[in-house]
Structure 1
Amino acid sequence: MKFNNAEDTIQLSPLWEGERFPDGRPKVPSSVLDRLSRITLEEAWGPLWSRGYHYQFEGEFKIIHPGKIMVGRAVTAVMVPKRPDLHDTLMNYGHEQEGRRGFFNQWVIDSLGEEDVVVIDMFDKIYQGTYVGGNLSTAISTRTKSGGAVIWGGIRDNQQIEKIDNINVYYRGSDPTAIADVTMVGMNVPARIGRAVCLPGDVVLGTPAGVIFIPAHLAELTATHAEKSQVRDVFGFARLNANVYTTAQIDAAWTMAMWQDFMDWFESDNAAAPYQHLTWERELEEARRNEDNGPSSDVRL
């Protein structure tokens, strides 16, 4: 087996049609990451859930910076309890065949680039399962600039990590012990994080409620649908505050008259300016069909 094998990573993401990193991970554009950083967890969750992606969210974490949003591209690794023969074989292979240095966790962090988030299945180990401390978190900060870590396991040196402002760390617990008695069996492979599944190159969106892993091929679609939901809410709140519509009208499929009111507002109101890259032909066509044939389901997802 090889660690961080590009051919394997490409095989895992056949639906991605864009640029890739040399390690095979999908390279979701920075502009899409920026758009996703401004949406809520629920807005990201909706488009995924409706498309059958039901195991993308995990909320059972402690968070170093609870109010800080984290977004980046996943670099994954899977750890298992130490079995001596397996451990020695893989450690020797990494050192002798791939030229790696240090312990398994250092191999992964040494591979990080800007806007990456390291995602680690540490099988919920905390005692001697501390994947990062102050030094490796500093390395994550230096390499990713704005990323961080999601660790289904432990960390140490919390007081030092809390002083690193440009990244965030999601973790299960902390302990003063160093990492020990674990073996890495895969790097940039599918990782199970609690109830969720993360693939290398997924967009990791960390929020105060937890972490959601957005498949790379759905990242731009998720951003678009989330932004449409957001801006419709901005419009809806404004019209509710002005007593123009009832909550029942806002929450139901909109009539063509409401859509025209929205489009007039969308094209002229300053509150809509951040969203004016969006287009609405599909929604307007759906509203016209509703007028002709009777109501159908909303199209917000």
Structure 2
Amino acid sequence: MTNLKVETREKLKLVSTATLMTALYKRGLRNQWIQDVHRINKHSGTMVGEAFTLRYMPAREDLNQLEVFRDREHPQRKAVEICPSGAVLVIDSRKDPRAASAGSILISRLMVRGAAGIVTDGGFRDTPEIEKLGIPAYHNRPSAPTNLTLHQAIDINVPIGCGDTPVFPGDVIVGDDEGVAVIPAHLADDIAEEAVEMTTYEDFVTEEVINGRSILGLYPATDEQSLVDYKAWRQRTGR
């Protein structure tokens, strides 16, 4: 059962990961950006959902033959089948994109089951097909070899590292065209609220800068007049 409030999810869809990272930095959190992951299908919209995790370890050859996929409890297959609707499957592939973390069939299954997205710090295969899917998908780079080549799926929904970032089950994952941010679950409501306010102010600042105003005293708002002008702008624009 999801703990992410509908209103919080909707707010997070309206803000950038850059704004979220600033809000997290204000709280002393500096390592919430999943490093070196890139969006495959930019048409698929903003990704927001709670983390459901899968962890790989280095493969041991005698335990990682094709026959392992006959086991219905195989962690990779099982993760795809039990990842909750609205969640983001986050995969710890040890930052190794030399073998695929998954491919288009498994990601299609996640999409049909209602997952909000998928992220790996490794690679995906079948990227031309993934580009056409409506589910947000992030990886390091394309990788054709099967995951069995180097990765052994070992744990489901445990704390992991993804792109040098700690991800705990239930953390809120937000992805846009720049990349993926991780919000600790207990901060999600407050971060979402603050990020919406920050975005509104930045929209005001952008308009003022385009009209020729200096950023000094405006961004950040260290001059009282900036706040006076911002209040008037909000009243005028209905923001």
- What is the CA–CA distance in structure 1 between the aligned matches of 2:148 and 2:64, rounded to whole Å? 11
Taking only aligned residues, the RMSD between alpha carbons, in angstroms, comes to 2.7
**Cα-to-partner distance string for 1:277-300 (whole Å, 9 max, x where unaligned):** xxxxxxxxxxxxxxxxxxxxxxxx
Task: Evaluate the alpha carbon distance shift between residue 140 and residue 259 of structure 1 in structure 2; reply closer, same or farther with a 3 A threshold.
Answer: same
User: Taking CA–CA contacts closer than 8 Å with sequence separation of 6 or more, which of the two structures ends up with the larger relative contact order?
Assistant: 2
- What is the CA–CA distance in structure 2 between the aligned matches of 1:199 and 1:250, rounded to whole Å? 37
**Cα-to-partner distance string for 1:102-141 (whole Å, 9 max, x where unaligned):** 53211111112222110000113334x3222121111111
- What is the CA–CA distance in structure 2 between the aligned matches of 1:160 and 1:56, rounded to whole Å? 29
Residue number among 190, 193, 197 corresponding to 1:221 in the alignment:
190
Q: Which residue of 2 aligns with 1:60?
A: 36
Runs of at least 4 residues off by over 6 Å: 84-88
Q: Which residue of 1 aligns with 2:114?
A: 144
1:126 paired with 2:102, answer no
Q: How does the TM-score come out when normalised to structure 2?
A: 0.85
Partner SS for 1:106: helix
**Cα-to-partner distance string for 1:200-242 (whole Å, 9 max, x where unaligned):** 1111111222211111111121112211111112223334455
Q: Which residue of 1 aligns with 2:56?
A: 79
1:49 paired with 2:17, answer no
Q: Which residue of 2 aligns with 1:117?
A: 88
Could you tell me which amino acid in structure 2 is paired with residue 130 of structure 1? A
Partner SS for 1:248: coil
Task: Evaluate the alpha carbon distance shift between residue 151 and residue 268 of structure 1 in structure 2; reply closer, same or farther with a 3 A threshold.
Answer: same
Contact 1:117 1:144 in 2 (8 A): no
1:269 paired with 2:237, answer yes
Residue number among 126, 132, 142 corresponding to 1:174 in the alignment:
142
Partner SS for 1:218: helix
1:272-291 to structure 2, matched below 5 A, reads 272=239
Task: Evaluate the alpha carbon distance shift between residue 108 and residue 251 of structure 1 in structure 2; reply closer, same or farther with a 3 A threshold.
Answer: same
Q: Which residue of 2 aligns with 1:231?
A: 200
The gaps in structure 1 that reach 5 residues or longer are: 1-20, 273-301
- What is the CA–CA distance in structure 2 between the aligned matches of 1:35 and 1:207, rounded to whole Å? 14
Larger radius of gyration: 1
Could you tell me which amino acid in structure 1 is paired with residue 104 of structure 2? G
- What is the CA–CA distance in structure 2 between the aligned matches of 1:62 and 1:261, rounded to whole Å? 38
Q: Which residue of 1 aligns with 2:165?
A: 196
1:30 paired with 2:14, answer no
Task: Evaluate the alpha carbon distance shift between residue 86 and residue 156 of structure 1 in structure 2; reply closer, same or farther with a 3 A threshold.
Answer: closer
Could you tell me which amino acid in structure 2 is paired with residue 106 of structure 1? R
The gaps in structure 2 that reach 5 residues or longer are: none
**Cα-to-partner distance string for 1:6-50 (whole Å, 9 max, x where unaligned):** xxxxxxxxxxxxxxx2xxxx6111221121122112210012122
Task: Evaluate the alpha carbon distance shift between residue 260 and residue 175 of structure 1 in structure 2; reply closer, same or farther with a 3 A threshold.
Answer: closer
Could you tell me which amino acid in structure 2 is paired with residue 215 of structure 1? P
**Alpha-carbon offset, residue 84 of structure 1:** 7.1
Could you tell me which amino acid in structure 1 is paired with residue 235 of structure 2? E
